[in-house]
Structure 1
Amino acid sequence: MITPTDEQRQLRATVRDFLAATCSYEHLLAQTAQPAGFDRAAWRRAAAELGLPGIAVPEQYGGSGFSPAELVWILVESGRALCPAPLFSSVVLATTALLASGDDDACRELLPGIVAGERTATVAVSERRPGWTPAGVAATATGTGRTRRLRGTKTAVVDAHTADDLLVAARTGEGVSLLRVARTAPGVAITPRPGIDVTRRLCDVVLDDAPARLVGEEGAGRRTLEQVRDTALAALAAEAVGGMARLTDLAAEHARTREQFGAPIGSFQAVKHRVADMVVAADLGERAAETLAWALGTDDGQFPLVAAALFAHNADAYVAVAESALQVLGGIGFTAEHPAHLYLKRARAGRALLGTPAEHRARIAPAILEVPAS
């Protein structure tokens, strides 16, 4: 584990200031009320002024060429602000998929537009239920060569309603493969999916003989998607860190200033202990972010275990902190005038987006149990 560098702290502070100006609660409500769900102009500003979409993209594709560790701290601040922009879908999911595929042509065609904030993309894997299970992929891609035809239905696809390109997991003759299809292509039907989290839109996608193009090697989709899954779990864990920190600040400030029976409610033992538990959880989350940044910068094969373990911990902790915050805030926390309810919804939705904490604990338990005692 490492502590952030001075450059990373400066980046984090800059991103926090930018998001404070573009994702205040008033701005957030206005953005989520729009069909797109986010401010496209602000996203282009984030690309032009801060280079956020290209922070971990190699320079050969127009990116900044920084390590994924910098992306962790951006995601922490994004989670703190509940930023509705396509950072998770386009930068975490799609960009990771493109780079992991090793398809230089696809990267050169798509990544410069993503880096510039002019193009967005997402990844479609889940079908019957939320999660990330390449083994459960039933969609098919027929044809030969790089051009194929897609059939199938994808569920809970993040930001599919605005993505220019969908990277779809489908079965070909060689196994699970990754294919690119344009959102506006014939045979593509996208339906917004009702959900509790208005800051992160989910959609169902029906593909009916839609024209698509193979990305990467045929049959290599499982390996690529596993890498995307691990990065996405780390991203959700990082977002939870920012969310817990913000909720703790809101609850602590309310406990200091809200008076009942002639005294601040924070002086009452029950409230004091609840806020103290939140502070401890938020501090542990900060340490988790440091661990994630460290793990992303290593090449010892432990990152999948670290990402899954910290996601499982942070996802549960985020929900617990959000529920505690609403208890401290009382009735105001449930109103539209206060942002606390949006954090609770993000926490609960994120906990199930790529599989539950219990599912990921079960997945990594055998590997952890095989680790020899030091």
Structure 2
Amino acid sequence: MTLLYTEVEEELRASVRDLLADRCGPDAVLRRVESEAPYDMDLWKRLSREIGVAGLLVPEEHGGAGASAREVAVVLEELGRAVAPLPFLTSSVLATKALLAAGGGDLIGELASGETTAALAVSLAASPYRPLPETLTVTDGRTLNGQVRAVAGADVADVLLVPVGTTLYRVAAADVRVETVPSLDLTRPVSTLTFSDVPAEAAGAFDAREVLGFGAGLLASEQLGVAEWCLDTTLAYIKERHQFARPVGSFQAIKHRMADLWLDVVRARAAARNAADLLSADPGTPAEGPAGEKGARDRALAAAVAASWCSEVAVHVAEESVQLHGGIGMTWEHPVHLYLKRAKAAEIALGTPGAHREALATLADLPAPA
């Protein structure tokens, strides 16, 4: 196992970063979140068609890239660095993972091309370690009724993948009432979904722990990208900002704070890369045997470590970035507030740090925190 980025991963990063720099700069993101359509679907189509990010997890026989979680993690890092308002996490990670685990189907190819966007109809705050709330009912195995709150990506989805119990259902988004509600993260809106005698088609089995745990482990890479941008931007600022005829960054107290932040980000990168590497293993790999290191227990352990650590690091680095930018960091025009809001919202997404640490204690066979 190596946590270093491969040449292919670095090429993928460069392609995504260049396109985001051209189309998704801070000013462009601020303009979009002030509009009625925060998601940049034109950019999403370009990323899908020109770089193929939508189909990274999809096998080649279904029209995808046949890549792994490592490549997905690289894309998430770059999207985090840009706080890009794109449905990559919701469609190409969570929904695609759920559909692949359920058996695939013709929808997989449509998601891989980026022509169709999907969303997993679960609350963004759902935990991999607890059963999903039973807020939906199924009649005759083909009609859904009920409501699901705080669903991310539903407002731009063509198809909704709706878990009820251990079964995943496929629903046309046009048949569901989607109401976007206020969200702390302006770049990732959440919606309330209301199902009223909505026709549905069973897509296969659904394992919430597997799908949400996979998403939480990769969300850590997005949080890493948020923290890296905040650290890099703050470092550049304190080199330029002068007080008493000296750069602010030359003051010892600032140096110590920046050194602590750098160490936090380095540790976050190690945790996120470890999770991405282990999650890239075949889900069918046994927990014991020749590939025991890639087993289910090890993947869950790595995901819990990354999710618990990276979420808190992203928030801490973003908070420090706001403070170290001084007065300008408190303004709407400076984009650092978008990163803080993304970090705070992502901290409770797919399990809180405390939930991941509690699960980690069980997975590592250690006493739970008091």
Amino acid aligned to 1:290? R
Paired with 2:272 and 2:23, the residues of 1 have a C-alpha distance of 24
> Which of residues 142, 161, 167 in structure 1 aligns to 2:161?
167
> What is aligned with 1:26?
27
> What is aligned with 1:305?
301
> What is aligned with 1:177?
167
Superposed counterparts of 1:285-300, under 5 Å = 285-298=268-281, 299-300=294-295
Q: Could you list the runs of 4 or more consecutive aligned residues of structure 1 that deviate by over 6 angstroms after TM superposition? A: none
Paired with 2:333 and 2:366, the residues of 1 have a C-alpha distance of 50
> Which of residues 249, 255, 278 in structure 1 aligns to 2:238?
255
Amino acid aligned to 2:174? T
| 8 Å Cα contact 2:126-2:132 kept in structure 1 | no
Q: Counterpart of 1:210 in 2: which secondary structure?
A: strand
Amino acid aligned to 1:291? N
| 8 Å Cα contact 1:233-1:307 kept in structure 2 | yes
> What is aligned with 2:195?
207
Paired with 1:337 and 1:290, the residues of 2 have a C-alpha distance of 33
Q: Counterpart of 1:294 in 2: which secondary structure?
A: helix
Paired with 2:123 and 2:258, the residues of 1 have a C-alpha distance of 37
> Which of residues 116, 129, 150 in structure 2 aligns to 1:119?
116
Paired with 1:193 and 1:181, the residues of 2 have a C-alpha distance of 21
Q: Counterpart of 2:168 in 1: which secondary structure?
A: strand
Deviation of 1:126 after TM superposition, in Å, equals 3.3
Paired with 2:177 and 2:155, the residues of 1 have a C-alpha distance of 10
Q: Counterpart of 1:57 in 2: which secondary structure?
A: coil
Deviation of 1:178 after TM superposition, in Å, equals 1.2
Superposed counterparts of 1:307-326, under 5 Å = 307-326=303-322
Deviation of 1:363 after TM superposition, in Å, equals 2.3
Gaps of 5+ in 1: none
Moved more, 58-67 or 242-251: 58-67
Paired with 1:362 and 1:139, the residues of 2 have a C-alpha distance of 28
| 8 Å Cα contact 2:272-2:310 kept in structure 1 | no
> What is aligned with 2:287?
none
Q: Normalized against structure 1, the TM-score is what? A: 0.90
Q: Counterpart of 2:143 in 1: which secondary structure?
A: strand
| 8 Å Cα contact 1:134-1:169 kept in structure 2 | no
> What is aligned with 1:98?
99
Amino acid aligned to 1:205? L
Superposed counterparts of 1:1-374, under 5 Å = 1-2=1-2, 3-102=4-103, 104=104, 107-108=105-106, 110-126=107-123, 130-132=126-128, 133-144=130-141, 148-171=142-165, 176-185=166-175, 188-216=176-204, 220-221=205-206, 223=207, 225-298=208-281, 299-301=294-296, 302-369=298-365
Paired with 1:228 and 1:130, the residues of 2 have a C-alpha distance of 11
Deviation of 1:17 after TM superposition, in Å, equals 1.3
| 8 Å Cα contact 2:135-2:148 kept in structure 1 | no
| 8 Å Cα contact 1:265-1:271 kept in structure 2 | yes
| 8 Å Cα contact 1:192-1:201 kept in structure 2 | yes
| 8 Å Cα contact 1:126-1:137 kept in structure 2 | no
Paired with 1:180 and 1:88, the residues of 2 have a C-alpha distance of 18
Q: Normalized against structure 2, the TM-score is what? A: 0.91
Deviation of 1:23 after TM superposition, in Å, equals 1.1
Paired with 1:331 and 1:142, the residues of 2 have a C-alpha distance of 57
Paired with 2:221 and 2:95, the residues of 1 have a C-alpha distance of 18
The count of aligned residue pairs is 352
| 8 Å Cα contact 1:322-1:340 kept in structure 2 | yes
Relative to structure 1, the CA distance from residue 308 to residue 196 in structure 2 (aligned partners, 3 Å threshold; closer, same or farther) is same
Paired with 1:327 and 1:307, the residues of 2 have a C-alpha distance of 30
Deviation of 1:130 after TM superposition, in Å, equals 4.9
Relative to structure 1, the CA distance from residue 60 to residue 36 in structure 2 (aligned partners, 3 Å threshold; closer, same or farther) is farther
Q: Counterpart of 1:353 in 2: which secondary structure?
A: coil
Q: Counterpart of 2:167 in 1: which secondary structure?
A: strand
Paired with 1:326 and 1:362, the residues of 2 have a C-alpha distance of 30
Q: Deviations over 1:25-76 (max 9, x none)?
A: 1121223233332222211111111001011211122111112211111111
Relative to structure 1, the CA distance from residue 196 to residue 126 in structure 2 (aligned partners, 3 Å threshold; closer, same or farther) is closer
Amino acid aligned to 2:295? D
